[in-house]
Amino acid sequence: MPAPLIKICGLTTPAAIDAAIAARADYIGLVSFPRSPRHLSPADAAALSARAAGRAQVVGLFVDPADGLLAELVAAAKLDVIQLHGEEDPARVAAVRAMFGLPVWKALPVATKADVERAAAFTGAADLVLFDAKAPKDAAMPGGLGLVFDWTLLAAHKAALPWGLAGGLSPANVAQAVRATNAPLVDVSSGVESAPGVKDATLIAQFCKAARSV
């Protein structure tokens, strides 16, 4: 099995961008969601994206965004990928993909086998589905909470769509997660932070090394 692709999400500083690139992350994630401690203004997202340009693919993360916000960020930050992390249905995902001509990833919250099976509905609409842990009902954010779901739910997953694994990954468990699921892509945010929204260069390096060790 080839080593998984790696996405470091929720980067907010030039130092964090540099750390992700030094660790050879394939994707860096920039968050546009005001309730998140990792939220960026369009200007800040543009500056960080420019720093990563040509060295990692830039993914913009949104939660039920309006078309205007998407257009602003796609233009300002020259996004390579749009990631939708809200309640977007397949029709909305397909519309965003058609509107901007960019790959669109759809995050799906997982607690049961039925949640994994929902991925099939996005065939032809999304370019990739990202299985993430389902947030508690009262949570302020749909992701980035450090929660892990039952990886055995993915053990028999026969994917019509490319997919990735998120949700509570860290340097300590990512190798185990890849072995358990054969995930072709792993996505981390809070698991490489020293505090909410504060990325740790050492943890980023350890995460990438562990993910590739499998």
56 close to 25: Cβ distance less than 8 angstroms = yes
Burial (CB count <10 Å: 0-12, 13-18, 19+), residue 210:
buried
63-117 pLDDT per residue, tens: 999 999 999 999 999 999 999 999 999 999 999 999 999 999 999 999 889 999 9
Q: What is the pLDDT of residue 142?
A: 57
Q: Structural domain boundaries of the chain? A: 5-212
63-74 pLDDT per residue, tens: 999 999 999 999
pTM (2 d.p.): 0.93
27-53 pLDDT per residue, tens: 999 999 999 999 999 999 999 999 999
Share of residues in the chain with pLDDT > 90 (%): 82
Spelled out in words, what is the top-level CATH class assigned to the domain 5-212? alpha beta
131 close to 167: Cβ distance less than 8 angstroms = yes
Share of residues in the chain with pLDDT > 70 (%): 94
- Residue 172 burial (CB count, 10 A): 12
Give the whole-angstrom CA distance, residue 42 versus residue 174. Answer: 31
Q: What is the dihedral of CA 207, 40, 195, 182, to 10 degrees?
A: -30
